[in-house]
Each structure stands twice: as C-alpha cells, then as structure tokens.
Structure 1
Amino acid sequence: MSEGGTTLLDAIERETGADPAWSVLWLHGLGADGSDFVPILPELVRRDWPAMRFVFPHAPMRAVTISNGARMRAWYDIRDFDLANRADEQGVMESVAQVTALIDREIARGIPASRIFLAGFSQGGAITLAAGLRRSVPLAGLVGLSTYLPGATTAAAALVEGATAQPLFMAHGTGDPVVPYAAGEQTAAWMRQRGFEVEFHRYPMPHSVCLEEIRDLGDWFSARLAAG
C-alpha cells in the first residue's frame, strides 16, 4: 500500500472511541517497534478527551553502523556516537517522507492536519523534529522525548514558513547516557530561537520514560485539545 508514491509503513492502531476526531502518530526508538509505547495509553489518555486514534508505526529494518552493521528497526543509520555526525541524512529524509505519508493518510481519513499530533522517542523524536521543520501546513503539535535535532548545522535551511505554529513538548532525563541531557536542552533552545513555542521538562531518569513525564505530557495534550 502506498501514499503519494511512498510505501506506507505497517503500524499498530488504537482508537479511544468511535469516529476519532484527532490522531497521534507515535514513533518508537532504535531497535524497538510500534508496540513499544502502546502500554502507556492507559496512563496517558484522559476520560474527558475526545475520541482519538493512536498510530504506532514500525520503522523499516536497516543495518546500523554502531551495532556492527546488525539489522534492526531504525529510522536512520547511526554512523557515530558523536551527535553532530550520528544520523545519516538520506535515512532521515526517507523516514520523514514515510511519516508524511502516514500524516496524509490520516488527512484522507477525515482528520485535518490541525488535529494531528506527531510524537517520538529518541530516534523517533529526531524524525518528529526533522519532519516538523518541514511542515508548511502545521500539525496540532509535536512531541520529542529524550531526543535531539539531527543535522542541526543544516536544519535552519529546512525550516519552512508555517512550521513554527506547531507547539512543541520536549522532555529529557538528566542521567541519559544515550542522548545527553545537554543535547535535548540545546535542541529546545534552538527551536525556541527559531520561533517555536517549546515546553521543556527534565526528569531524574536515564534514557527512558517516567510516570511524571506521562502526566506532564497529558496536561500538555489536554491544553492543545481544549484549544481545539
């Protein structure tokens, strides 16, 4: 199955009610799959929210350089531990195109871009930010957890008019050994400097997600949903 010439990724879907009026596309991290964040829904979703569709796509299988070329689900190859050279640009752009195709499918299903959220953890968060910069038709919001902006030195050139209308929730663990906390903080500052409305949270945790973070994210979603 394809959308605009791009093959649609397989995904797990969960709907919180009939005829969902909002969608959330949630991108997992390196080596995981779409099932990784399905278990948080009972803690995240609130009773007063409108019906929503959560889409958890599976990243493609690809060889990952820092894992000695082992094949795993990854949104892009990780070539180096240094963040500045970590992500391969071609892989990032391929994943941005695949995620855009999933967004377009939600729009075709009757949910406008203004009611679609794009969220991601770690690698998935990097793709969320990279895709968000390129959205001339803004989404309802972006969520980047324990992540960073890939290709930050060239990212400014990718920023299009309209993209900064998307509110951004970011969260990071102060003890993260995979994506250093400073990288998340610097990314939040970079996005703010370009005009994004950024809500940034820090937690005493490693490269993971905690209950307090889910509650804070729920508050942020509630505010966005209330704004309509």
Structure 2
Amino acid sequence: MLHQKDYRYDGKPVEEAKKVLIMLHGRGGFAEDILGLADHLKIDLDEFALVAPEAYNNSWYPLSFMAPEEQNQPWLNSALELLAELERELNEKGIPSEKIYFLGFSQGACLTLEYVTRNAKKYGGVIAIIGGLIGKHINTGNYLTNFEGTPIYLGTSDPDSHVPVERVQQTAEILKNKNAKVELRIYKNAGHVILPEELGVANNLIFGYPGKEKV
C-alpha cells in the first residue's frame, strides 16, 4: 500500500469513544489542518474520537479527480484501501459503521465521496466540501449498495477552479438514488474555501440531524 497508516488524533481516544469522525485533508494539506475544523463543529468531544489520515506527500492521488481513473492509479486504490482498513479497525474496536462520520475538503472530499459511495451503508453522516465522485466519467458500476438514509452534506462554489458544479450536482443525484439524505448547497463565487455558513448547515444536518440514532 503506497499510503501508509499515518494518522493524527484528537478528541476521545478511539478505545473510549462512542463515535468517530474521519477527516480527510485536501491536496497539499496536512492532517493537523483538517483536525482544526473540529473547533467549528457541534460535536461532543466526550463522545467523539477524531482521526485524520495524512496522505503520502500530502496528496491522495496525482492528477485531477476528473482525469481517467487509471491515470490516478495506483495512488487512488491505495487511498481507498487505507480508508477500508481504517473502517475495519474501528469496527473491530467496537465502533459500528453507523457511528462513523466522514468529513473531507477538496481532494479529501472527492476521496471521501468515492469511498463511502463504493461502500455505501448506514454511516453516521458525511460532509464533503468542494468535491465530487471520481473519474473522467462516473462509473456507477462501482456503487452497488445503498446508504440506508445516511445524511450527506455537499457544499461547493459556483464556479470553482478545480471542481465543476455540474459534477457536484451529478454526484448529489447518484447519492440520492442510493438512498442518502442529501443537502446540496451551492455558493456563488465563494472561492475554493470552507465557509462558516456551510459548516453551520452541515452541523445541523449531520450532528443535529433529527432522525439520527440516540446513543
């Protein structure tokens, strides 16, 4: 595996946590950067462990997420395998998948969406800011299962220099067809950034979601 198990942690130790938030940084970012977003999330750090993997050379795959998938290999498969291994480890430590949450930004949002859609099941929730499903053409044959009502927030800028808004909209429709509860917010000329406003929306949907299970 090209990407190594290089994780940063915050919040509750995994062994003591009831829930886990997996946080994925963007291209050129660091695990510590994305962990800093936790200060803006309405999560109870007495319940949550935060886990932020760090990509090899700070990039999950070398080219655009809209390049032909084979051109981003073997890095893309390695990143997906890393997340699969992390989810298995959390399950083995007593955290069921419905108590696992994901947050990704930019390249990390694309990787998050690709992973959870290929492995769709009831997750705690997903926040993907400026990202979409991966590939020159989306291969819906990779997405065989459904989300069982998982809440998913998608936020993006129109336009964005890296992620066409049409790909985000297409992604939202696929997720809805896979039985996800999707909230898509498009912000005009917002830039390639995470907006405080959309973190508020994501907080309400993901961490204050009225249909979520109670611990």
Q: Match for 1:35 among 8, 14, 32?
A: 32
Aligned-partner SS, 1:191: helix
- Detail structure 1 runs of 4+ shifted over 4 Å in the superposition: 5-8
Distance in 2, Cα, partners of 1:147 & 1:225: 25
Unaligned runs of 5+ in 1: 62-72
Contact 2:131-2:168 at 8 Å conserved across structures: yes
Shift of 1:163: 4.1
Query: What TM-score, normalized to structure 1?
Result: 0.80
Q: Match for 2:62 among 74, 77, 82?
A: 77
Residues 202 and 101 (structure 1), Cα distance of their counterparts in 2 relative to 1, 3 Å cut:
same
Unaligned runs of 5+ in 2: none
Q: Match for 2:172 among 183, 188, 196?
A: 188
Aligned-partner SS, 2:101: strand
Q: Name the % identity.
A: 20
Residues 20 and 121 (structure 1), Cα distance of their counterparts in 2 relative to 1, 3 Å cut:
same
Matched residue count: 210
Q: Letter of the aligned partner of 1:109 in structure 2? A: K
Distance in 2, Cα, partners of 1:136 & 1:181: 23
Shift of 1:134: 2.0
Partner residue, 2:212: 227
Distance in 2, Cα, partners of 1:150 & 1:30: 15
Does residue 22 of structure 1 match 2:19? yes
Distance in 1, Cα, partners of 2:145 & 2:127: 20
Partner residue, 1:129: 113
Residues 102 and 158 (structure 1), Cα distance of their counterparts in 2 relative to 1, 3 Å cut:
same
Distance in 2, Cα, partners of 1:152 & 1:163: 24
Q: 1:80-106: per-residue Cα shift (whole Å, max 9, x none)?
A: 5x8353761432221111011111222
Contact 1:6-1:101 at 8 Å conserved across structures: no
